[in-house]
């Protein structure tokens, strides 16, 4: 019995070891004979995995004008362990670098890996690559990798389009799609629509000889994968209007934002000073970026989205609408103005000289400060406490899209500020402030700040008689219209539609009225509605502001113009808005004298105005 047991155990071990040996042989046969993929690692000294970079998607304007395309370029890659240079200076001369730069990049590559290929020199031109390819056998360890880089045929809209650069480290940590030295959209549309534009990378396995020269595809391309090009994007901007707006803002600091009220599509988005987007392409990107970054005029700073200014007298329109909604004023309400509003000997808001008293429409036409100080005070004091009245007023203001992000498809932005009750409690003490304490809010000053895009959207709200569509810069992706309720569903204000007609009539009088503050910017055949503004600037000359839309009925364009240190709104901002409207609606300019004044105007003392 015991012998049989021993025999059974021995037989079991025979089968165990015999079976294992057979399984091992089958596995080795599969690895060495059937499955060639393991050779890729084993023969890495002759087989290179080359990334096939897809073309980034093209970008067009609303009329199909090509704004962003691609040009062929090459990256010089290096595997430090394989480097056997015969003539270092010859390589430096071909690729136009010095010996110090060469040694520095080799050290960086070695820190990354001595065995794996890494980037040595990015985005070499086609001409340099062709010259290098002929002599690449002289430089073991180096090879060229094809890719594309951006090209901008129109040399315009730099802040909108953004730029492409090396993928940041924080993106590498959270997105495994990218590898070190891959390209990535850093700003503008390139950033906000990165996943659509980037495409999908492919891989090609190439056999190379001992001199690192390509000898064909490995395994007839069985393990290769194709790259998928990025999706094309159609923007909402009109590039002709954009370029014209940039010309008008040349040698001026500020912004122009134009919106189509019926859709929320952005027609023009200008931040000045601006720059040619081609400056941030290729090997010249780094020195150009550093130069502009250090420039005191901050050409890289997108004023249209990031600058926060007091809205000035343009904000009187919002206060008028709130006053009508709250029933504290009506069309015929009149207030006297003795060159300003006085609460006490120490508290006064000044105003320019004009006849008095004025009704609501006349107050908009002549931009009377006293009218809106009285209106604001009535709104706040309608409620039992200043805090309650102010909170109600603030909620009305927020419904215009002010004081918050607009949830648009732009890559950056700031919410502005509509101060809270807590803000004033901290500043003055709880229950120690009233309407007169914050009376400058009546004329768009105090701690109230907005961005130019918010101001343009505020104008679109009035043009639409009480609602807006979230401003957005992209119309189509890969030929398909945006399917996002964020941009297609209207957002309504807390102001009844019936109250807008009076305000719009007042805005029209700004152009056609005898005492209109923008009558010199009127157009003969186009009904424009607008409002001038002048924002106090503690650091220098006041800012010139204007908002407008046209035509009066069924408006096609609403815009905000902000010219820093431009003084009165009627001096710079109003003529610019008028020229923009005529250019967009008719394609021509009738007041060429006014156009010449704006085009030749210089409010900057610098050679780097553009």
Distance CA(395)–CA(560), nearest Å, equals: 23
Confidence of residue 34 (pLDDT cuts 50, 70, 90): low
In the prediction, which pLDDT does 304 show? Answer: 96
- The yes-or-no verdict on residue 6 having pLDDT over 70 is no
How confident is residue 3, by pLDDT bands cut at 50, 70 and 90? low
Cα 426 to Cα 412: distance, rounded to the nearest angstrom: 30
Is the confidence at residue 42, as pLDDT, over 50? no
The string of DSSP codes covering 289-330 is HHHHHH-TT-TTS-HHHH--B--GGGGHHHHHHHHHHTTS--
Contact between 77 and 117 (Cβ < 8 Å): yes
For residue 376 the two structure tokens come to 């604001």
Nearest to 467 by CA among 495, 507, 487, 486: 495
* β partners of residue 265: 260, 472
What's the CA dihedral at 187, 191, 193, 195 to 10 degrees? 160
Q: State the pLDDT at residue 315.
A: 97
What number is the average pLDDT over the span 572-578? 95
What's the pLDDT tens digit per position in 519-561?
Answer: 889 998 899 999 999 887 777 788 899 999 999 999 999 999 9
Beta strand pairing status for 254-260 and 467-468? unpaired
Best CA proximity match to 518, nearest among 562, 570, 577, 580: 570
* pLDDT score of 29 more than 70: no
130: tokens are 């062709």
CA-based nearest residue to 293, from 270, 273, 269: 273
- pLDDT, tens only, 125-137: 888 899 998 888 8
pLDDT at 31 over 60: no
Q: What is the pLDDT of residues 56-89, one digit of tens each?
A: 999 999 999 999 999 988 889 888 888 887 788 8
**What is the spatial distance between Cα 352 and Cα 348, in angstroms, rounded to a whole number?**
13
> How far is Cα 600 from Cα 575, in angstroms, rounded to an integer?
13
Q: Which pLDDT score is estimated for 566?
A: 87
pLDDT in tens, 214-260: 667 777 777 888 889 999 999 999 999 999 999 999 999 999 999 99
Least confident of 18-22, 31-35, 325-329, 478-482: 31-35
**198 contacts 182 by C-beta, under 8 angstroms:** no
Per-residue confidence at 607, pLDDT binned at 50, 70, 90?
very low
Work out the percent of the chain whose per-residue pLDDT is above 70: 90
Contacting residues for 381 by C-beta, under 8 A, at least 6 apart: 389, 434, 435
Q: Between 498 and 543, name the one with better pLDDT.
A: 498
Overall average pLDDT of the 168-183 stretch: 89
pLDDT grade, residue 568 (50/70/90)? confident
Give the pLDDT of residue 394. 98
Instruction: Report pLDDT digits (tens) over 325-338.
Output: 999 999 999 999 98
Which residues face 341 on adjacent strands? 349
Cβ atoms of 547 and 456 closer than 8 Å: yes
pLDDT of the residue at 606: 43
Nearest to 256, CA basis, from 601, 564, 586: 564
Neighbours of 331 (CB within 10 A): 14
pLDDT tens column, 402-418: 998 888 899 999 999 99
| Domains recognised in the chain with CATH numbers | 47-235 (3.90.1310.10), 239-276+301-600 (3.40.710.10)
- Given this model, what pLDDT does residue 608 score? 41
Give the number of residues written for the chain.
Answer: 610
* Three-state secondary structure string covering 430-472: CCCCCHHHHHHHHHCCCCCEECHHHHHHHHHHHHCCCEECCCE
Q: Ranked by mean pLDDT, which of 43-47, 194-198, 564-568 comes out on top?
A: 194-198
Question: Over the stretch 361-382, which tens digit does the pLDDT of each residue have?
Answer: 999 999 999 999 999 999 999 9
Between CA 442 and CA 318 the distance in angstroms is 9
């Amino acid at each position: 019995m015991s012998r049989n047991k021993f025999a059974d155990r021995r037989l079991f071990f025979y089968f165990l070891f015999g079976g294992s040996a057979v399984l091992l042989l089958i596995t080795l046969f599969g690895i060495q004979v059937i499955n060639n993929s393991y050779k890729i690692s084993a023969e890495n000294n002759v087989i290179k995995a080359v990334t096939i970079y897809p073309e980034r998607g093209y970008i067009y304007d609303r009329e199909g004008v090509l704004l962003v395309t691609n040009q062929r370029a090459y990256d010089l890659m290096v595997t430090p362990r394989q480097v056997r240079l015969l003539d270092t200076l010859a390589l430096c001369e071909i690729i136009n670098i010095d010996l110090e730069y060469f040694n520095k990049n080799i050290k960086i590559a070695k820190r990354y890996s001595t065995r794996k290929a890494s980037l040595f020199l990015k985005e070499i031109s086609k001409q340099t690559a062709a010259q290098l390819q002929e002599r690449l056998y002289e430089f073991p360890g180096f090879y060229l990798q094809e890719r594309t880089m951006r090209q901008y045929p129109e040399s315009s809209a730099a802040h909108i389009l953004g730029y492409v650069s090396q993928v940041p480290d924080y993106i590498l940590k959270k997105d495994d799609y990218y590898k070190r030295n891959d390209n990535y959209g850093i700003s503008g549309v390139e950033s906000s629509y990165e996943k659509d534009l980037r495409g999908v990378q492919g891989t090609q396995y190439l056999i190379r000889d001992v001199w690192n020269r390509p000898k064909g595809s490995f395994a007839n391309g069985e393990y290769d994968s194709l790259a998928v090009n990025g999706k094309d994007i159609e923007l909402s901007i009109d590039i002709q209007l954009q370029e014209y707006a940039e010309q008008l803002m040349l040698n001026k600091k500020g912004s122009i934002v134009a919106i189509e009220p019926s859709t929320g599509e952005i027609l023009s988005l200008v931040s000045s000073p601006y720059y040619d987007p081609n400056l941030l392409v290729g090997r010249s990107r780094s020195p150009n970026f550093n130069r502009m970054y250090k420039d005191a005029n901050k050409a890289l700073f997108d004023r249209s989205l990031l600058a926060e200014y007091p809205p000035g007298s343009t904000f009187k329109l919002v206060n008028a609408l709130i006053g009508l909604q709250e029933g504290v004023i009506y069309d015929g309400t009149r207030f006297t103005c003795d060159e300003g509003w006085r609460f006490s000997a120490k508290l006064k808001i000044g105003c320019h000289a004009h006849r008095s008293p004025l009704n609501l429409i006349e107050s908009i036409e002549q931009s009377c400060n006293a009218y809106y100080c009285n209106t604001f005070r009535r709104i706040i004091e309608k409620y039992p406490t200043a805090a309650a009245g102010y909170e109600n007023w603030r909620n009305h203001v927020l419904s215009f899209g002010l004081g918050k992000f607009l949830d648009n498809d732009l890559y950056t932005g700031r919410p502005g500020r509509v101060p809270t009750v807590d803000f004033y409690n901290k500043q003055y003490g709880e229950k120690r402030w009233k309407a007169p304490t914050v009376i400058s809010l009546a004329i768009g000053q105090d701690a109230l700040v907005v961005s130019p895009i918010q101001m343009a959207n505020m104008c679109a709200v009035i043009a639409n008689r009480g609602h807006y569509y979230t401003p957005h810069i992209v119309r189509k992706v890969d030929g398909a219209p945006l399917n996002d309720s964020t941009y297609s569903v209207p957002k309504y204000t807390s102001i009844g539609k019936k109250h807008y007609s009076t305000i719009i009539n007042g805005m029209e009088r700004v152009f056609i009225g005898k005492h209109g503050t923008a009558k010199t910017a009127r157009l003969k055949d186009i009904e424009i509605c607008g409002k001038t503004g002048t924002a106090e600037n503690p650091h220098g000359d006041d800012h010139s502001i204007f908002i407008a839309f046209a035509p009066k009925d069924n408006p096609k364009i609403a815009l905000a113009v902000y010219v820093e240190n431009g003084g009165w709104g009627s001096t710079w901002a109003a003529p610019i808005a008028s020229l923009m409207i005529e250019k967009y609606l008719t394609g021509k300019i009738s007041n060429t004298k006014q156009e010449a004044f704006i085009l030749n105007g210089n409010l900057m003392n610098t050679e780097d105005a553009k």
